[in-house]
Amino acid sequence: MVANSMEVEILKPRNDKREYRRLVLDNSLQVLIISDPETDKCAASMNVGIGSFSDPEGLDGLAHFLEHMLFYSSEKYPLEDSYSKYITEHGGSTNAFTSSENTNYYFDVNADSFEEALDRFAQFFIKPLMSADATTREIKAVDSENQKNLLLDGWRMFQLQKHLCAPDHPYHKFSTGNWDTLEVQPKARGVDTRNELLKFYDEKYSANLMHLVIYGKDSLDKSQSLLVSKFREIRNTNSKRPCFTGHPCSSEHLQILVKTVPIKQGHKLKFTWPVTPGILHYREGPSRYLGHLIGHEAEGSLFYVLKKLGWATGLSAGESDWSSEFSFFRVGIDLTDAGHEHVEDIVALLFKYVKLLQESGACKWIFDELAAVSETGFHYQDKNRPIDYVVTVSSNMQWYPPQDWLVGSSLPSKFSPEIIESALQELTPANVRIFWESTKFEGHTSLKEPWYGTAYSLEKISEPIIQKWMERAPDEPLHLPAPNMFIATDLSLKTVSEKRNLPVLLRKSQHSRLWYKPDTTFSVPKAYVTIEFSCPLCGSSPESQVLTDIFTRLLMDYLNDYAYNAQVAGLYYGIYSTDIGFQVTLVGYNDKLRILLETVINKIANFEVRPDRFSVIKELVTKEYQNFKFQQPYQQAMYHCSLILQKQAWSWTDELDVVPHLDADILVRFYPLMISRAFLECYIAGNMEPNEAESIMQYVENIFFEVPEPKSKALFPSQHLTNRIVKLERGINYVYPAEGLNPSDENSSIIHYIQVHQDDFVLNVKLQLFALIAKQPAFHQLRSVEQLGYITVLMHRDDFGVRGVQFIIQSTAKGPRHIDGRVEAFLKMFESKLYEMPAEEFKSNVNGLIDMKLEKHKNLREESRFYWHEIAHGTLKFDRRECEIAALKQLTQKELVDFFDEHIKVGASRKKALSVWVYGSSHSSKMEVDKSEITNENVVQIEDVFTFRRSRPLYGSFKGGFRQMKL
């Protein structure tokens, strides 16, 4: 007997057809098997109950480093990187993460490769090889990962909160690790990091501290037999589960106000209270109840009041950083400049709202409403990707009893006024930590956090001070929310007589085009609606682009206090600017969707500019443009690449330049001109009958086009907008060098882009197959072996139907020109691999790509995005996957080699390449030298993006207006 089936009824969604079985192997490994005969992908996740809290003293980051090391090789599979290579070649992906008290390893793969993938995965926990050579290399990778985080405000502020806690509590530690903590300091003390790594693994990684989820296509019995054979050899040393008692915050760490300087422009206010861990009362859901009310955004809420006063642009509330021993309740507020000047009032209003909740007591009707929304959400949840599902469930297994492994804390079901009120009593001024972030504090701080160098100052803030602020705070009408009218009550499924597996053009006029697809797969009471307003004026200049952006943000702002309840009830909406206009999307329960849609459409049609809100949104947009320079260097490289390739893209500096000159009156004049000519592209899918879809489209047309004084007229044929992409010249490698925008960032980055063709099924699959075969070798060579940088990616690229591949690498170790040279060296090395590839390996890769294309959409949102992509790009190839599978089945190995030789190979006559070099501060001195050394006649430096763009021919667009003319 090597496994005990533990009979327990696991609570699962009503519409979930999957089967579940809990097992405990003889080595005490706890397992959940999920059988899903309909799945295309199989997945597994191992959650190890050991995290960064268990790092030995003086070896910060060791648990995270071990997570990296297990991917290299094992005694059974000694070839370095063979695990990742196998997963990638068989259509899968793999990753891991280290948290405070657990480390989670996971992968997915095509179903027919699951058994071998699982065997390779199991060796992580049986006999991994951690060679001395790999150890040194991977410490550099950990250090590169840390370098990537050094100028990211999220990491900086999180570490500062940890720093201002008890030094003897593991929460205080630096969990990521770097070259200093894992190499320099241990060596100085005579400590061998690799020996410590092996010792840590031997002592901590025990089967009794592990939880495994496997998600397969086979029956429960067959899966059980498989997993027992693979995982029974994991050692059980009966390691004691680490317990970190006590709270990280003692009294000296409470009642503090921390002023800190972020990297990015803006102001934030964060409140943190140490509280009783919500997991101890997860069925009563006190933190969920409090987060729901304090984070509410409808009329009477804290955010509603702060927004009305012009002091805040965002608010979030809820429990975070929790364990079974301690937890924090957090409230985060994004402040305007005016809000920054009224922080005392904001602190007071928050505590006045908490006081209101304390005086109101726990309200059963609010809890019941929250429980109803949660229950509907659980039972009608979208089916997730298996890889995401197994990670969630294996993480839950560490904390919850087996019957709640699928549910976790998502289903509050017991109303307990005492527990809710007890949680409220913990949110007091005596218990609070306030972190106030603003670049205005620069030069006014005296302290530095040691790991990230974050500047801060610290002062005590007593309860009487906050009481005084409360006494003189604005007298605003704070109150509990009204009942939620958007909670779905009709969850019935519509019967559509004509089952359509692909979208159809249901309705067409000079004003609009309506694509429609009923739900034939998911059987959920949900719908998806997207309407894109194509308005020629929107993208005609940097000013019009920014004004359109402000217009969409104002719409969201105006709708927020009305539509927030819809989002609480599982009905989501968004209004966004696009390259050719703006887009409205709604997705969720169809019961009340029409009500929300009509409100949104009427708000657009009757748009008014409120000068007070215009000022707030303009300030927000200004800061976002100013903060562009703090993006990661690889993101800057991607921006430059898109700016070079896309005909209708404006530079962020041009857009930033126009913002100060915009005012409410300009938008008042712009709006009627913007909307005066429009064409509406619409896609409606899901639990919706054809006549309902047509009725929605007719309603929208009536509002804009069919009234006595219409807001909009049909576009002239010449006005239908198209996205055009620059066609690079064959045989030329263009180079665009650019200085990194943040002088404090040492990281450099490159994009090495190879443009191949415009959408064509045969060429598409050749390109995708090359990317699949080369992806893992590129990662292994450029990151694992050469250690160029933590961010090392090879991926397929699609610009409005123009296809190519791109290498993205970010590095502090080497400069852009060197990295670009290493990419070309890799491609030369890859030639022989491709030419000498055994026929069976080629066939295996082809089958892997076919399996990836056979993968069904998991939910309505995923399916709708796929079809909308075809509509938005004008390609309209709804049967794309079937056609590409047919092309793959005909593809020969010689054809792939010929394709590589013609389009990808270094020096190929038809190759079209573009290298973007972004120089960080550690390499900026080499930039002029690198530019001067570009002497090869086949390498052309781009001096000016816009001159270059104007000089090149463009690919024709698939989108030729409502008649679908091909340009």
Positions annotated as catalytic residues are 67, 138
SS3 349: helix
Q: Which residues contact 932 (CB under 8 A, 6 or more apart)?
A: none
Lookup result for tokens 């604005």: 474
SS3 230: helix
Q: Which string of DSSP letters, residue by residue, matches 743-798?
A: TT---EEEEEEEEEEES-HHHHHHHHHHHHHHHHHHHIIIIIIT---SEEEEEEEE
Closest CA to 800 of 904, 700, 874: 874
SS3 128: strand
Closest CA to 715 of 857, 538, 910, 952: 538
Residue 565, phi then psi, degrees to nearest 5: -60, -35
d(CA 107, CA 205): 19
Asked whether 276 and 423 are in contact (CB, 8 A), the reply is: yes
Q: Where does 182-259 have alpha helices with state H?
A: 185-188, 193-204, 220-231
Name the strand (E) or helix (H) holding 803. strand 802-811
Tokens of 732: 């030329």
Instruction: Give strand ranges (E) for 548-678.
Output: 571-578, 581-589
Name the strand (E) or helix (H) holding 436. strand 433-438
**Letter string b/e over residues 629-649, b meaning 16 or more CB atoms within 10 A of that residue's CB:** bbbbbbebbbbbbebbbbbeb
What is the chain's Cα-based Rg? 29
Vertex 182, ends 178 and 188: CA angle to 5°? 125
Tokens of 310: 């012009």
* DSSP code at position 430: G
Asked whether 941 and 735 are in contact (CB, 8 A), the reply is: yes
| Helices 343-360, 417-424: inter-axial angle, 10-degree rounding | 160
Vertex 349, ends 346 and 353: CA angle to 5°? 140
Sheet holding 455-460, edge to edge: 312-320, 327-335, 267-275, 433-438, 256-260, 455-460, 447-448
Beta strands 732-739; 939-941: pairing state:
parallel
Residue 507, phi then psi, degrees to nearest 5: -155, 140
d(CA 607, CA 38): 47
